[in-house]
Structure 1
Amino acid sequence: MTDAALAAPPFRPAATLRAAASDEPDDSWLGALVEWVVSLMDVIGPVGAGIAIALENLFPPLPSEAILPLAGFAANRGMFTLAEALVWTTLGSVVGALILYGIGAWLGLDRLRRVAAKVPLLHVEDVDRTVEWFGRHGAKAVFFGRMIPIFRSLISIPAGVTRMPLWRFTLLTTAGSAIWNTASVLAGFFLGESWPVIEQYADILQYVVIAAVVIGVAWFGWVRVRQLLRTRRGSVDEA
């Protein structure tokens, strides 16, 4: 062995990954997230990426758009194989979704109806219509919902409330998650140090989804308030 080889420091994938991935300031939320995920992967390998994605399902503010490409980048840097990144992140997605499915099953339809009856502007019939819609389109909602920010997590709850067969829910969740995770992990793998660009473009999609939800909720509230005002006006006229 040469003197140069003896003097050279050992290759440390995690340290290299931190150095390459830390484009964000240390006090930024994304910089803190990168450090946390890298630490997980450094300690327990691809299982750490799976745990991070499982937690992302339970806490949607954690962005899979940052975690998944980072897992691909880690595979690119030799912390683990690409196959391990794909398998463990998909497994993490399924585990997180099953926990939310369990919460929905625990909540149940009867309890959800009682909650709706106490919430202003909501009617028990709204729950029934939603359940009826989910009965017709639930399979597509679960599959495609795994590829949409925010809905990726929330779609598991109505699946549990309506008691979609567990085998079907798991199969659809696995398929949808595998597609989304594979695309994101591969993007991080091939983009290398440029992986943060994925998060920037994914933010646009997330903002579009949030805007659509806000507009939908605002429209629903406006319609219900108008209905309430008409009902009160009619009651006054009759009196």
Structure 2
Amino acid sequence: MIKKFLFALLFIFSFSALKAAPTESIQSATDTLSVIQHIEEWYKNNTNYYTVTALMACESSVLPVPSEMVIPPAVYIAMDPDSNLNIWLIIFFGTIGALIGASFNYLMAKWLGRLVIYKFADSKIGKSFLLSSEKIMKAETYFNDHGKTSTFVGRFIPVIRHLISIPAGLAKMNYLSFALYTVLGAGLWNCILALLGYLAHGQQDLINKYSHQLSYVFIAAGVILAGWLILKTVRRKKK
């Protein structure tokens, strides 16, 4: 997930560079659009509150759609004077989508039970969704160790983020408590992602000039974060 986060940042940098490029050069390269340009064009033509809600619902369910590729680009587009999108509504609908996807995982786990969930995770279909019994076990262990608040804190942890709803369902956690912690966690996470998209637009000239150097900064931050998570896991196992 950290790699996806870094890729999302690089995606935003590419967004800025394309915005700053002369119109003539972009037009002349229409027949050889890069993958990033295709993605930009798709976002421009299709990003709205419905797609943000749907994509974030997928992100919080078993579908591997990273939120880092949904909220920041949507906010970036909202900063365009010609856009009808509102940043606060992007955060709102993104959070609603996260609750919908998390509720799907919660209800699925609650109704199907642990045995079926673990078998599904190790099936071909489950693996195509990047699931595994090890990931489910990791999320369930985290939930058991941290209780109800794990549905809030778990929204900020890679891998755990979109799976924490499953152990909540397996434990038959009170749904209102589950929904409250999910909305709070997802809402705060979406605010962070929205800030990322806002800064990408607000500091466009700076990013265009120093995007290469900034990418190393974010990579270093990702390595530090990964190291901290590994150290925390090792210490917990020792205890």
After TM superposition, the score normalised by the length of structure 2 is 0.59
What residue number does 2:191 align with?
182
Unaligned runs of 5+ in 1: 1-15, 116-126, 221-239
Is 2:104 aligned against 1:105? no
- In 2, Cα distance between equivalents of 1:202 and 1:75: 26
Aligned to 1:87: 92
Deviates more, 1:200-209 or 1:188-197: 200-209
**Percent of paired sites with the same residue:** 25
Q: 2-side partners of 1:166 and 1:53: how far apart?
A: 20
Structure 1 residues 96-147: Cα deviation after superposition (integer angstroms, max 9, x where no partner): 11111122112314656899xxxxxxxxxxx8xx978745622221101111
Question: Could you tell me how far apart the structure 1 residues matched to 2:57 and 2:101 are?
Answer: 4
Match of 2:149 among 140, 143, 157: 140
Other-structure match for 1:55:
58
Unaligned ranges ≥5, structure 2: 1-14, 27-31, 121-136
Partner of 2:45: 39
> Does the CA-based 8 Å contact 2:71-2:91 persist in structure 1?
no
Structure 1 residue 26, shift from structure 2 partner: 4.8
Go from structure 1 to structure 2 and tell me whether the alpha carbon gap of 1:133 and 1:91 turns closer, same or farther (over 3 Å shift): closer
8 Å Cα contact 2:143-2:151 kept in structure 1: no
Q: Which amino acid aligns with 1:157?
A: I
Give the paired residue count. 185
Q: 1:74 and 2:77 equivalent?
A: yes
**Offset of 1:190 from its aligned partner?**
3.3
Higher RCO (C-alpha under 8 Å, 6+ residues apart): 2
Structure label with greater radius of gyration: 1
Partners of 1:33 and 1:59 lie apart in 2 by 23
SS of corresponding position for 2:162: helix
| Equivalent in the alignment of 1:163 | 172
Provide closer, same or farther for how the CA distance between residues 32 and 203 of structure 1 changes in structure 2, counting only shifts above 3 A. farther
Quick one: structure 1 residues 26 and 204, their matched pair in 2 at CA, closer, same or farther if it must change by over 3 Å? farther
In 2, Cα distance between equivalents of 1:104 and 1:20 = 44
Matched, 1:150 2:159: yes
Task: Please give the alpha-carbon distance, in whole angstroms, between the structure 2 residues aligned to 1:106 and 1:203.
Answer: 42
Deviation at 1:73, TM superposition (A): 0.9
3-state DSSP of counterpart to 1:103: helix
Partner of residue 3, structure 2: none
Q: 1:23-72 deviations in whole A, cap 9, x for unaligned? A: 9x9554x655544444331xxx2222121211222356422112111121
- What CA RMSD, in Å, does the superposition of the two structures yield over aligned residues? 4.4
Paired residue for 1:11? none
Q: 1:37·1:67 contact (CA, 8 Å) conserved in 2?
A: no
Q: Secondary structure at the match of 2:103?
A: helix
**TM-score normalised per structure 1:** 0.59
* Residues 99 and 151 (structure 1), Cα distance of their counterparts in 2 relative to 1, 3 Å cut: same
Q: Secondary structure at the match of 2:161?
A: helix
